[in-house]
């Protein structure tokens, strides 16, 4: 381990050959002399490293113990150490593997959360798709009737307008299905620079029908020139949709007076999305439980929405916080760091290639 031959080592002071260091620097410089002088054993302790002249550091564990003569006098010492590099390496690998498993689990949980959210909105979305389909049906029937006319009386202009309307409606239905599929399909996390304003727009499209059905008004204040954030757009949509749904639930008792206010802004390196409602707010004792798994006040709630949202926000280096507003209602604030040109700035938040 020392990579010294006898000739180079014999007769030299120990500290010239190697030193043992700990992170806290707690060990005396001249270990051997200290041990002899104090006549007691010294353990290297945690995180000890062996520094050898001209070699890389070695992680070691070990101790130095005095040797006593029959008269109980110190006559030397024994230094033992073991290279724990390979053990450390295996421990690091096991740690990395379990972190990876946790991340995969989070992605699966996020996916299940999305299916759940969508499950509850499915009837609204079915209705949303049904509208363009019925429009297509009635336009096509009108076209067929027009084509039934004798050839010289066919109004080609009218026919063209109806066909155009069919194309537009089909496109609308297609885009709703596309968004829905994107939202619920299990897919790799895809981290890129995205706009929170765009996320808000997409989510309002998904929630539009439910908002109308529940007579919830939405006020949107989107900051122009909002900086981008590094994140997965579907996971951010998931956060925004969850907060919108919670907001809708919170104002349900207000009938036609329920209102949600969405705000985007940025300051001190962060981009923020706040979703506020004018509902009953959060009970004092519930604040510390809000983000805990399975905390719910709803008869059919899973109590996972906010937990998943917070985990997602943190995985992008951000946070999700809740507060009550002075004039009533709750406000949830999602903060994410502004995307920098250099993705490595995100350190441990760099994308992980999960299924």
CB of 127 to ligand ADP, least distance (A): 22
Among 132, 258, 305, 337, binds ligand ADP (CB under 6 A): 305
Judged by beta carbon, residue 195 or residue 310, the one nearer ligand ADP is: 310
3-state secondary structure 94-161: HHHHHHHHHHHHHHHHHHHHHHHHHHHHHHHHHHHHHHHHHHHHHHHHHHHHHHHCCHHHCCHHHHHH
Count of other CB atoms within 10 angstroms of residue 263? 17
Pair type for strands 259-267 and 74-83: unpaired
Binding flag, residue 121, ligand ADP (CB under 6 A): no
Structural element, H or E, at residue 60:
strand 58-68
Binding flag, residue 211, ligand ADP (CB under 6 A): no
Among 303, 319, 325, 351, binds ligand ADP (CB under 6 A): 303
Among 128, 210, 237, 277, binds ligand ADP (CB under 6 A): 277
Task: Determine the Cα angle at 199 with ends 195 and 204, to 5°.
Answer: 145
Q: How many residues bind ligand ADP (CB under 6 A)?
A: 21
Binding flag, residue 210, ligand ADP (CB under 6 A): no
Q: With 0-12 CB in 10 A as exposed, 13-18 as middle and 19+ as buried, what is 253?
A: exposed
Judged by beta carbon, residue 128 or residue 277, the one nearer ligand ADP is: 277
Distance CA 196, CA 243 (A): 14
Structural element, H or E, at residue 81:
strand 74-83
Binding to ligand ADP, residues 128-167 (CB under 6 A): none
Among 107, 216, 290, 312, binds ligand ADP (CB under 6 A): 290
Judged by beta carbon, residue 307 or residue 335, the one nearer ligand ADP is: 307
Contact positions vs ligand ADP (CB under 6 A)? 242, 246-247, 250, 277, 279, 281-282, 290, 295-298, 301-307, 330
């Amino acid at each position: 381990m020392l990579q010294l031959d006898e000739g180079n080592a014999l007769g030299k002071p120990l500290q010239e050959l190697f030193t043992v260091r700990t992170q806290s620097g707690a060990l005396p410089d001249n270990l051997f002399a200290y041990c002899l002088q104090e006549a007691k054993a010294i353990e290297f302790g945690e995180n000890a490293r062996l520094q050898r002249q001209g070699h890389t550091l070695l992680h070691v564990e070990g101790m130095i113990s005095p040797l006593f003569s029959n008269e109980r006098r110190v006559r030397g010492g024994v230094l033992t150490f073991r290279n724990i590099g390979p053990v450390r390496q295996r421990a690091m690998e096991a740690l990395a593997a379990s972190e990876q498993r946790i991340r995969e689990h989070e992605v699966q949980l996020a996916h299940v959360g999305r299916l759940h959210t969508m499950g509850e909105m499915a009837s609204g979305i079915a209705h949303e798709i049904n509208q363009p389909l019925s429009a297509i049906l009635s336009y096509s029937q009108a076209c067929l009737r027009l084509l039934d006319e004798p050839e010289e009386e066919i109004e080609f202009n009218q026919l063209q307008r109806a066909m155009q309307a069919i194309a537009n409606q089909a496109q609308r239905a297609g885009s709703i299905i596309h968004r829905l599929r994107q939202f619920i399909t299990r897919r790799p996390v895809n981290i890129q620079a995205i706009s929170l304003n765009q996320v808000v727009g997409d989510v309002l499209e998904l929630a539009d029908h439910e908002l109308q059905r529940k007579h919830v008004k939405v006020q949107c204040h989107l900051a122009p020139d909002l900086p981008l954030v590094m994140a997965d757009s579907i996971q951010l949509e998931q956060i925004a949709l969850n907060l919108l749904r919670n907001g809708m639930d919170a104002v349900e008792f207000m009938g036609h007076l329920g209102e949600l206010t969405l705000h985007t802004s940025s300051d001190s390196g962060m981009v923020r999305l706040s979703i506020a409602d004018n509902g009953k707010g959060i009970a004092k004792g519930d604040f510390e439980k809000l983000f805990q798994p399975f905390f719910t006040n709803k008869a059919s709630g899973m109590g996972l929405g906010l937990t998943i949202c917070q985990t997602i926000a943190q995985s992008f280096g951000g946070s999700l916080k809740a507060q009550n507003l002075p004039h009533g209602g709750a406000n949830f604030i999602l903060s994410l760091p502004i995307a920098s040109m250099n993705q490595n700035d995100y350190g441990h938040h760099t994308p992980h290639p999960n299924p």
